[in-house]
């Protein structure tokens, strides 16, 4: 797949970035994304290029650049709880996305300290390792542009 050189480049860029996702196995994450996430999500960049999943999937928001993004800010009809969490300062990173993926409702209840909070994502990942792998896979998308911007800013 065309993703491999891109992934190698991003892996190098991520290695230099302290805030980036570590731990996860990108290849395992790619196959877990395929079997568990892409029925509802895809990854499409700002030019409309489909980087993961299928083009016309809109059950869940586009996950391009999701690691590092404020929660609930894509062009998507989110549930109120997720938008509220984003407005309260929730920015997705490896640490918070793992518990979100394991149990979105409980995560939003804890984050908002409101037991009525609800997620509209009715899916759970079964274990931490799978969640970490998927996050490592997703963290590739968006980082290329960021790395290029940084390089441009430095020159």
Q: Quick one: which of 59, 61, 63 has its CA closest to 51?
A: 63
- Per CB under 6 A, which region of 5-13, 17-25, 38-46, 146-154 contacts ligand HEC? 38-46
- Spell out, one character per residue from 82 to 121, where the chain touches ligand HEC: x when CB under 6 A holds, - when not: x---------x----x---x-----------------xxx
If one asks whether residue 28 binds ligand HEC (CB under 6 A), the answer comes out as no
Burial readout 128-150 (b: 16 or more C-beta within 10 A, e: otherwise): eebbbbbbbbbbbbbbbeebeee
Q: Which is nearer to ligand HEC, 44 or 134 (CB)?
A: 134
If one asks whether residue 29 binds ligand HEC (CB under 6 A), the answer comes out as no
Find the helix packing angle between 104-112 and 80-87, rounded to 10°: 50
If one asks whether residue 78 binds ligand HEC (CB under 6 A), the answer comes out as yes
């Amino acid at each position: 797949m065309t993703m491999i050189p891109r992934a190698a480049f991003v892996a190098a860029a991520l290695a230099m970035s302290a805030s980036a996702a570590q731990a996860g196995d990108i290849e395992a994450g790619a196959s877990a994304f395929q079997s568990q996430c892409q029925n509802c999500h895809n990854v499409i960049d700002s030019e409309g290029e489909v980087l993961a999943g299928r083009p016309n999937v809109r059950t869940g928001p586009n996950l391009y650049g999701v690691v590092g993004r404020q929660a609930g800010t894509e062009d998507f009809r989110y549930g109120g709880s997720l938008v509220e969490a984003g407005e309260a300062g929730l920015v997705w990173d490896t640490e918070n996305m793992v518990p979100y993926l394991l149990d979105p409702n409980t995560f939003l209840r804890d984050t908002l300290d409101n037991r009525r909070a609800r997620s509209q994502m009715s899916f759970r990942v079964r274990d931490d390792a799978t969640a970490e792998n998927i996050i490592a896979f997703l963290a590739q998308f968006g980082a290329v542009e960021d790395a290029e911007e940084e390089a441009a800013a430095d020159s």
